[in-house]
Homo-oligomer: A and B are copies of this chain.
Amino acid sequence: MQSVFEIIAEPNRRAILSLLVSSQRSVGEIERQLRMPQPAVSKHLRVLRDAGFVESTVDAQRRLYRLKPEPLQEVDAWLAQFRRFWSARVDALERHLDRMAQSTATKTKRKTK
């Protein structure tokens, strides 16, 4: 379990991350909101913490977990190389659709005239 991609491959871990984006939570809150056994939550949090996705502070017997941005930014950085590609594609599609609309409009004009 090394790469950030393997970490977020697990659906429950993604759910935890999504939950933490709004605010920090205790293990028990996560457990209840995601309806998942407590040991499972703790284990996933362990993985997430080791990978730097979250950090925790102690509040009496509770541990409050909150998000850290770096690993997800790493994913974002990897994704960046593809944004150029697909925006180019969207542009091409838009040009294509423009031509379609153009041609349809012409046809309609002819018909309705």
Contact = CB atoms under 8 A, between A and B. Distances in A.
Copy count, this protein chain: 2
A18 to B, nearest CB: 7
A21 B81 CA distance: 8
Tell me the dominant secondary structure on chain A's binding face.
helix
A6 B3 contact: no
A11 interface: yes
Interface residues of A, number: 25
Contacts of A14: 5, 78
B8 A5 contact: yes
Given A8-B5, A9-B9, A18 B81 contact: yes
Given A69-B89, A72-B82, A86-B72, A11 B18 contact: no
